Structure 1
Amino acid sequence: MSRISYYALLSCVGSAALMTGTVYAQEAPAADQSAERGDSGLTDIVVTARKRAESLQDVPTAVTAMDAALIADLQIESFQDVGKTAPNVVIQKQAGSPTAPQFNIRGVSSGSINFQIDSGVALYVDGVYLGRPGNSAFDLSDIERIEVLRGPQGTLFGRNSTGGAISFVTAAPTGKFGVIADATIGNYQRRRGRITVNTPEWNGLAARITYAHDENTGYVKNSGPRRTYLFPEPFGPKTSADNFGANNNESVFVAVRYSGIDNLTVDYRFDYADLVTTLDAMQLLNGGAAFGGITNFPNQPALGGTAVESLKRLSSVPIDGLAPATQKTWGHSLTAVYDLNDMLTVKYIGALRGFTVNSSSDLDGNALVDPYGGTGGDFQALAAVRYAKQRQWSHELQLLGHTSAVDFVGGLFYYREKAFLNSPVIFGLVSQPGQPIPIVNPDSYLAGGDLLRVLNKSYAAYAHVDVRVADGLEISGGTRYSYDDRTENDLLAAPRTPTVPRGSFSAKQGRFDYDASVRYQFAPNNSVYAKFTTGFVSGGIFHGAEFEPETIKSYELGLKSEFLNRRVRVNLALFQADRKALQVTGFDPNQGGNILLNTGTERARGIELETTVIPVDGLTLTANYGFTDVNPKAETSNPAATPVRTYQPRHTGYLAAQYEAAAFPDGTTLSFRIDGQYEGKHYRLQCPIGALQSPTEGCLGSGDAVLDRALVIPSSWEIGARMTFAEIPLGSLKGRISLWGKNLNNSDKPEFLFPVFDTWAVGTFQQPRTYGVDFGLQF
């Protein structure tokens, strides 16, 4: 897709406004669901956590839901923003990927970018399972609803949901002509524009088309020299970025609905994203003796290089090996729903998705030169380039039934994924300007890495039933059988230690999962429930070795209540989750790449509280709190071994206040919102810094205790605010303007840490304070 400038997009928006002679009603963003209210107070929040539309208060599981208005108010523009309001949910960037976030829910941490290893948090868009975090790189401007389901969802959502599931529902065509145009201007030269067009319905056919452009110049300046490294295809030349954290992204979303046949609705959706992103600055936090010996670090400035090392966020860093990354993500989906009669519905969901990414990373955090040879050439202590391509196909067939006493769903599911990964790791490279990097065949990799193809197939059958056995009493249960067939074709024989022979390796595994729950409604809008669930993350093959599935058993007690004329909503959940054969990805410099730790057990216990209060008309207060106590254990007799640590904070919190003033005489509305997100201190290193990582024993050795304490992520608040004037009459148009700020307190804690070797560690930090203004027109 050719790149269209932000200013050209604004011109299109303005031209459309001038050319539109007749104005039609267009959907305005609904009020925040948590703040929606009628005369009796809070209104229902509709979710599809059990594959059917029902009130959030009727679902016997912990769910946080956000509608389009709340998504806009919170400026949720990427997956990293989704965890803001949900208790015990933390979603963070990963420095090794431009788009694959790290998910943490109730002690389950996942987000591996390896195609052989699945995530413990399942992602869905319009009912389509996203097999890889990289598939989530699409613009969220056309999202109608987000549901965050906490705890295993193994029966209805299948494998790879031990921590929970995050479901996105995109906006459907309205069937009425209308245009929405939005623009954003902010600091760091933030420029964003979006235009959405809804077509009128014609013979049962309607469409919705959205184009969006988003760019900024980055948050951290590159103070080092610009160097170009001549890698062979498919990587191509890599030139040092000017700034880090920059992006220049375009996206298209198309939704088409056909409803011209009685009882039949067919939805087709297409999304495409073209991303050019510079990863956040990978800052050198600590070098240590090993790093100093490799790089001659103290003498680098005298040799012509740099020697920048800091545990604090810097506004500029000299990194020569980090170039802009490119990624293209796309997806097609087809959903057909046919009502056989008043009680039975058949639903089919089919999808084809894929992405291609080309990126690089630099793990010395500097612009180094030849440390000992005197050549004056550029020096890369440890770096990597990565080219990955993924395609996935999925089909799901559901039969849904409803009677006065019973609701049920049964389904069949098929998933197929093909992927290719070429990711050489480069150690101690000395190069001269214009000199090609010698990666010409699998055995010429300078330190290791991956060159492989992966084929993953999964089959499943499931059934779930909800029975209302007495007034207010509901019993639910379900089961699911999953079968996985996974193949790794390893094309790189050397120089891994131990060597993995070239060839194809496969693993086949099957498993039953089930859930059961009891819900009792003891008063209108008030109920309690108890739930038991099992789940698993698929096992498979990693670097020629078979590994076991990670399994979980979860117990949950909950209260869902509304009182004081529905002006107060309190939802409470208590849980315990027991996991076995944990799957954790680590890095082994001796192998020059990732390793899989498939060992240990873990018990997580916690509490989640979500409250919404309307103390007076116009004012809505929200307070959410999460507590998770994780107790890992190593499965070994080795006294030097310690269990792998969790990334989950013990405490998370969220506070918000929104005030909607009475409308002005001309119909203009004014609202104010302030939010605060809290994360308690937590680890971001799975083993103590300096300790070894063992695939079978966990962490070996105590490492550097003083440095390890310094690398604990501190507790922090992140404050945001927004003021919005909406429904501004502009002739026949309606306008909207918002002033906003994010991270207003300028929290600067580390966000991602990576232990390289011994006490050598690098990391990235939070984005600094951002602010800007949004403009909107609808006509």
Structure 2
Amino acid sequence: MNFRKKYLCAMIGSVSTLTFDSSVIAAEGGSRALEEVVVTAQHREQSILDVPISMTALSGEAMEQMGMETPIDVFAQTPNVTAQLPTSGTGFPIFNIRGVTLLDFTDTNEASVAVYVDEVYLGSPAIQNGQLYDLDRVEILRGPQGTLYGRNSTGGVVQFYSRRPTDELEGYIEGTIGSYGAKTVEGAISGPLGDSVRGRVAVFSNSRDGWQDNVGNVPGASKDFGDIDTNEAIRLTLESDLSDTVMVTGNLHYGNYEGETDQRGFYGKGDPATGELCSIDRIMASQCIDYSTGRTQRGDDPEEVMSDLAKSPIENENYGGWLKLDGALGDMNFTSITSYDTVDKYQILDADNSDAELYALEFYIDHEQFSQEFRLGGGTDTLDWITGLYYYEDSRFFTVTFPQLGNGYGSFAEQEVETTAAFAQATYQLPHNFSVTAGIRYTQDSRDLSEIASILANGQAGTKQGIQGYNVSRSLDASKTTWRLALDWAFAEDQLLYSSISTGFKSGAFNTLYPGAETNVTKADPEEITVYEVGVKGRLIDAVAMTYNVAAFYTDYQNVQAQGTVIIDDTPQSVMANVSDAEIWGMEADLLMEPVSGLTLTLGVGYLDAEYVAGSNDTFNGQLINGNRPVMTPELNVSGSARYEMDLDKAGYAYAMADFNWADDVFFGPDNLATETQEAYAIFNFHLGWVNASESVKIEAFAKNLTDEDYFTHAVDPSAAAPTQVSYTWGMPRTWGLQAKYSF
């Protein structure tokens, strides 16, 4: 297969989230050929065109071609999928699919978009860092996946698959240098270890200097932030054929991240002359101050921040493994997946964003999880079915402290989560190319907050030390039956029309983010969601070779959970509640096409008409929210790419590629404050490279955020009515790099 054909196969569902689908188009010898991309969204291998779900599948090669290093890079090319970074760019991302997202930033709650790696659910956002290396593909399933996946997947599922061991010896090594002294090395080696045993080892390492200068004047304070001292990961996978019908696969992985937290920008909100609130235009023009302190720090330069901290470390160490058994039992297939993961994370940031000693914020999370899944499936010419059992448990110890406030004010919490579920799904082939799919899942979920305490003084992150204001426990039990029903019609070759109704369930949650009073140890009931969807997907090879995917949907979203912050006696405290319901209408469309030989174009478009549905007097952080727009939900979002390849005969080929992502205005909080808003903006990236004739060597130059756009990934306004301040987490400015890769 030539490179262009491989690239097109890689792009399937990549840039153009539509084509993310089933097949890819390649031109060879003047004829058009189709090559299918296989996904496992329904726990069996299928062409993506046969799956009645709106989904995107990007191959590892496609992610590499586009320079994708983080999940946020992936989502930038996926319609109706966004992400925010509440605890800075070096913290964990929170994903949003079709307006459904997590509104809690504590590491103890679980996301509304479930993340899996190699079919293992990751219960803590802290474990999700460092997964994007040596990947085979990523599958993004939009809408609730309440039957086959089920665990907190009200928004959807993101599934990463690492590359598997190979029958023949192969490998690669790749090195990158770039802006801010960035250095990255990635590599893998894979092959047989015997007649029936195969292995693969993949490694990753990167570092970077700080990209933010501290312009404060505090002696001993760190002079830069946002650096990566070390980010290392290793993954070992072994695969063995125990017999002709039984295979066992084992995986061990380890990751360690150490660096300094990006610091946030600060904008004052008070008129320097009157002390009244400024207009939003004056606030964003840095013409106002924090009237409580008189601070006038500039906030309009992402690379200039203020802090009094000598260091602002972020440390994340995680390790784990899984064991998978696949076997045939007559005409049936049996699968068992056993997994264990643990993570320790520590982070400190300057919460007041100034060179004054006011509010440093320390987080610590110790998370340990175990899961076991059994699946049994089979099929005939007219029926495919699968059933299974699922068990998950985790334990979490979480602390948050303000070391400069009250000599260590904060809180700690210990929590135990246990979930059991049983599920089944079947697809039956009807006459005239119709099929019906029905699935059901029953879930029992328990969450015990065995101990939570407020610390009035002398608290230390990662411990129970300090003078306690209260110490209590809480419990939350829930059970739910979720289901899915879909009807599809293959109305022509490689064309599928489908409709579906899907339900989902997200477990309840406790408030563990510095609840200063016992009455603030609140809980939120489970979220529930129902989505009605119609879609069409397919491929065409007439005048222009292309794949497409279009879906429209309506979402009934109930009991939206949200964590908010209130100021009591000049002290920040948090609350947690079900603040509203939501109604969301939307559509998404993806297109991948090859209009002429050598040129590949992709386009993705998403539209969301969404609002919170609350009581006329219901508030969030003191603000009415009925009719407000859900968090991180742009009305319109558009992404696309263009790639052109030039054949250099025996010298290989050269390529140029540009991609972009544009999103409409978004709000960072349910209260829709003007100060917690990101206006519409676009990000452009560019790649220029060469590959030799044998495809063993690649050299590339690239630039990200080519136009050096200033944008926010999160915003916090702790007091909408007070002339104090608002804090913003910046996205990365323009960066560039040079990359070389050798494969064998």
* TM interval, short-chain normalised: 0.7 to 0.9
Structure 2 distance, partners of 1:563, 1:50, is 25
Q: Single out whichever of 416-425 and 311-320 deviates more from structure 2.
A: 311-320
- What is the CA-CA distance between 1:494 and the residue it aligns to? 5.3
> Does the alignment pair 1:327 with 2:316?
yes
- SS of the residue corresponding to residue 516 of structure 1 reads strand
Structure 1 distance, partners of 2:552, 2:238, is 42
Deviations 1:265-296 (A, max 9, x none): 21111221110132222111225489999xxx
User: Alignment partner for residue 90 of structure 1, among 82, 88, 95?
Assistant: 82
> Does the alignment pair 1:662 with 2:647?
yes
Structure 2 distance, partners of 1:582, 1:61, is 24
> Does the alignment pair 1:681 with 2:665?
yes
Write out aligned runs for 1:622-637 (5 A). Answer: 622-635=602-615, 637=617
Percentage of matched positions with identical amino acids: 24
CA contact (8 A) 1:125 1:169 kept: yes
User: Alignment partner for residue 304 of structure 2, among 304, 307, 316?
Assistant: 316
Structure 2 distance, partners of 1:317, 1:453, is 34
Write out aligned runs for 1:590-669 (5 A). Answer: 590=568, 592-635=572-615, 637=617, 641-643=624-626, 645-647=629-631, 648-666=633-651, 668-669=652-653
Residue of structure 2 in register with 1:564 after alignment: 541
- What is the CA-CA distance between 1:55 and the residue it aligns to? 0.7
CA contact (8 A) 2:115 2:121 kept: yes
| Aligned amino acid, residue 190 of structure 2 | N
Write out aligned runs for 1:384-423 (5 A). Answer: 384-423=361-400
- What is the CA-CA distance between 1:584 and the residue it aligns to? 1.4
Structure 2 distance, partners of 1:127, 1:314, is 38
CA contact (8 A) 2:364 2:398 kept: yes
TM-score w.r.t. length of structure 1: 0.83
User: Alignment partner for residue 237 of structure 2, among 252, 255, 267?
Assistant: 255
Write out aligned runs for 1:358-373 (5 A). Answer: 358-368=346-356
| Aligned amino acid, residue 701 of structure 2 | L
Residue of structure 1 in register with 2:335 after alignment: 347
Q: Describe the shift of the 1:726–1:636 C-alpha distance in structure 2 as closer, same or farther (beyond 3 A).
A: same
| Aligned amino acid, residue 736 of structure 2 | Y
Structure 1 distance, partners of 2:522, 2:598, is 60
CA contact (8 A) 1:138 1:329 kept: no
CA contact (8 A) 1:425 1:593 kept: no
Deviations 1:243-278 (A, max 9, x none): 335453111111111124211121111221110132
- SS of the residue corresponding to residue 599 of structure 1 reads strand
| Aligned amino acid, residue 687 of structure 2 | R
Q: Identify unmatched segments of 5+ residues in structure 2.
A: 1-5, 13-23, 277-285, 458-467, 513-520
CA contact (8 A) 1:60 1:517 kept: yes
| Aligned amino acid, residue 275 of structure 1 | Y
Structure 1 distance, partners of 2:164, 2:594, is 31
- What is the CA-CA distance between 1:405 and the residue it aligns to? 0.4
Structure 1 distance, partners of 2:726, 2:171, is 50
- What is the CA-CA distance between 1:193 and the residue it aligns to? 0.7
- SS of the residue corresponding to residue 192 of structure 2 reads coil
Write out aligned runs for 1:231-242 (5 A). Answer: 240=222, 242=224
Deviations 1:360-400 (A, max 9, x none): 121221112xxxxxxxxxx22x2211121000000000011
- SS of the residue corresponding to residue 188 of structure 1 reads helix
CA contact (8 A) 1:398 1:411 kept: yes
Structure 1 distance, partners of 2:683, 2:288, is 39
| Aligned amino acid, residue 738 of structure 2 | V
| Aligned amino acid, residue 71 of structure 2 | F
Residue of structure 1 in register with 2:687 after alignment: 722
| Aligned amino acid, residue 750 of structure 1 | F
Write out aligned runs for 1:108-257 (5 A). Answer: 108-110=100-102, 112-225=104-217, 240=222, 242-244=224-226, 246=228, 248-257=230-239
Q: Describe the shift of the 1:329–1:308 C-alpha distance in structure 2 as closer, same or farther (beyond 3 A).
A: farther
| Aligned amino acid, residue 443 of structure 2 | S
Aligned length: 683
CA contact (8 A) 2:668 2:677 kept: yes
CA contact (8 A) 2:250 2:322 kept: yes
Q: Describe the shift of the 1:246–1:593 C-alpha distance in structure 2 as closer, same or farther (beyond 3 A).
A: farther
- What is the CA-CA distance between 1:300 and the residue it aligns to? 12
Residue of structure 2 in register with 1:336 after alignment: 325
Q: Describe the shift of the 1:226–1:774 C-alpha distance in structure 2 as closer, same or farther (beyond 3 A).
A: farther
CA contact (8 A) 2:207 2:229 kept: yes
User: Alignment partner for residue 711 of structure 2, among 749, 753, 760?
Assistant: 749
Q: Describe the shift of the 1:261–1:292 C-alpha distance in structure 2 as closer, same or farther (beyond 3 A).
A: farther
CA contact (8 A) 2:108 2:398 kept: no
- What is the CA-CA distance between 1:99 and the residue it aligns to? 3.5
Q: Identify unmatched segments of 5+ residues in structure 1.
A: 1-27, 229-238, 369-378, 430-437, 439-444, 690-707
Deviations 1:530-559 (A, max 9, x none): 000111111144354342111111000001
- SS of the residue corresponding to residue 756 of structure 1 reads coil
Write out aligned runs for 1:372-391 (5 A). Answer: 379-380=357-358, 382-391=359-368
- SS of the residue corresponding to residue 665 of structure 1 reads helix
Residue of structure 1 in register with 2:10 after alignment: 32
CA contact (8 A) 2:511 2:574 kept: no
CA contact (8 A) 1:33 1:43 kept: no
Residue of structure 2 in register with 1:547 after alignment: 524
Residue of structure 1 in register with 2:734 after alignment: 769
CA contact (8 A) 2:239 2:250 kept: yes
CA contact (8 A) 1:113 1:133 kept: no
Q: Describe the shift of the 1:414–1:299 C-alpha distance in structure 2 as closer, same or farther (beyond 3 A).
A: closer
Structure 1 distance, partners of 2:37, 2:530, is 28
Deviations 1:276-320 (A, max 9, x none): 132222111225489999xxx99999xxx9945345234222212
TM-score w.r.t. length of structure 2: 0.87
| Aligned amino acid, residue 85 of structure 1 | Q
Structure 2 distance, partners of 1:500, 1:630, is 41
Deviations 1:384-431 (A, max 9, x none): 1112100000000001112110111101000000010121135656xx
Deviations 1:66-99 (A, max 9, x none): 0011110122212221202110001232225833
User: Alignment partner for residue 509 of structure 1, among 478, 484, 496?
Assistant: 478
| Aligned amino acid, residue 717 of structure 2 | P
Q: Single out whichever of 38-47 and 117-126 deviates more from structure 2.
A: 38-47
CA contact (8 A) 2:172 2:189 kept: yes
- SS of the residue corresponding to residue 512 of structure 1 reads strand
Q: Single out whichever of 406-415 and 78-87 deviates more from structure 2.
A: 78-87
> Does the alignment pair 1:267 with 2:249?
yes
The structure 1 segments of at least 4 consecutive aligned residues displaced by more than 6 Å after TM superposition are 289-293, 297-301
- What is the CA-CA distance between 1:139 and the residue it aligns to? 3.9
Structure 2 distance, partners of 1:97, 1:459, is 34
Structure 2 distance, partners of 1:363, 1:515, is 44
CA contact (8 A) 1:139 1:273 kept: no
Deviations 1:676-695 (A, max 9, x none): 11111111233254xxxxxx
| Aligned amino acid, residue 602 of structure 2 | T
Residue of structure 2 in register with 1:282 after alignment: 264
